[in-house]
Amino acid sequence: MNGLAPMDFRKMNGLGNDFVVLDARLRPLSISTELARAIADRTSGIGCDQLIVLEPSRTADVRMRIWNNEGFEVESCGNASRCIADMLFAEKRQTVATIDTLGGYLTCEKAGDGLVRVDMGAPRFGWQDIPLSEPFADTRHIELQLGPIDAPLIHSPSVVNVGNPHCIFWVKDLAVVDLAKAGPMLEHHPLFPERANISLARVDAKDHITLKVWERGAGLTRACGTAACAVLAAAARIKLTHRKATVTLPGGDLLVEWREADDHILMTGPVTYEYEGVLPAHLAV
């Protein structure tokens, strides 16, 4: 133990995308890459896709910081936003909450039936915004493929930033490539200087998309909220879907709407409280 008091944590998930939540609003915490990785490591006895740390905020109800399972800090997490919003609703006995993140300022509200709606802000499509390492005038489809040159298995993905970078391949068959193998290669492709979250998306109808995600820094997850938002915006942009659709992930459904009035994306979905505990001594912060 490093001389500091052991730390309480809460385990939560959004559609199976799971989080360890630490509350640093009253006691500042210093999170190193090694510590984030150790807490997220599933052999540590706890484990999660993302470590979430709550800090005080001058402008919002809370500042939410996010570390991927690999131990580096990132800008956005859609599923964690819903979880933290729900905690805040209970704490503050309110039906709205605001969350400050590196990826943007989020307004969240109760949506009935235990669901939470988060305004994820406006998508960005410029090549510098994703970011890409070279200019592309049109990010609706970029030149990138996997498989033989004359018969690529997947190709011409759409790219979008919804607080974090996403690359989406449109497929008819979600098993056309093994995402566990293709994901790491594409995540680290030189076109993505900050790496990228990689999705395979199958458009089933104008109001329904099925999605599999390889998350940057976390691998295959049961769900990725920002990927669902990115996919809906990218699909609606190229008229594959309406501006509102259900996005089905391995862990369940999210309802996503890209609102015309203000260009913002609204994501609605459930929250699950798993359990509370105390970090073991070797992980105490």
Ligand X SMILES: N[C@@H](CCC[C@H](N)C(=O)O)C(=O)O
Q: Rule CB under 6 A: which residues touch ligand X?
A: 17, 49-50, 68, 74, 77-79, 164, 197, 215-218, 221, 224-226
Determine which one of 83, 108, 224, 229 is catalytic: 224
Lookup result for tokens 């039936």? 113
Is 167 a catalytic site residue? no
- Minimum Å gap between C-beta 128 and ligand X is 17
The answer to whether 182 and 146 have CB atoms below 8 angstroms apart is yes
Active site residue 224: yes
Q: Smallest distance from the beta carbon of 149 to ligand X, in angstroms?
A: 30
Q: To the nearest whole angstrom, how small is the minimum distance from the Cβ of residue 241 to ligand X?
A: 19
- 106 or 154, CB closer to ligand X? 106
Provide the strand spans (E) within the chain. 8-14, 17-23, 50-55, 62-68, 73-74, 96-101, 104-112, 115-119, 145-146, 154-155, 158-161, 165-170, 197-205, 208-215, 219-220, 244-249, 252-258, 265-269, 272-278
Closer to ligand X by CB, 129 or 284: give it: 129
The amino acid that residue 106 corresponds to is L
* Beta carbon of residue 164, minimum distance to ligand X (angstroms, whole number): 3
Catalytic residue among 48, 77, 108, 229: 77
**3-state class of 226 per DSSP?**
helix
Give the residue with the Cβ less far from ligand X, 49 or 61: 49
Q: Which residues belong to the active site? A: 77, 224
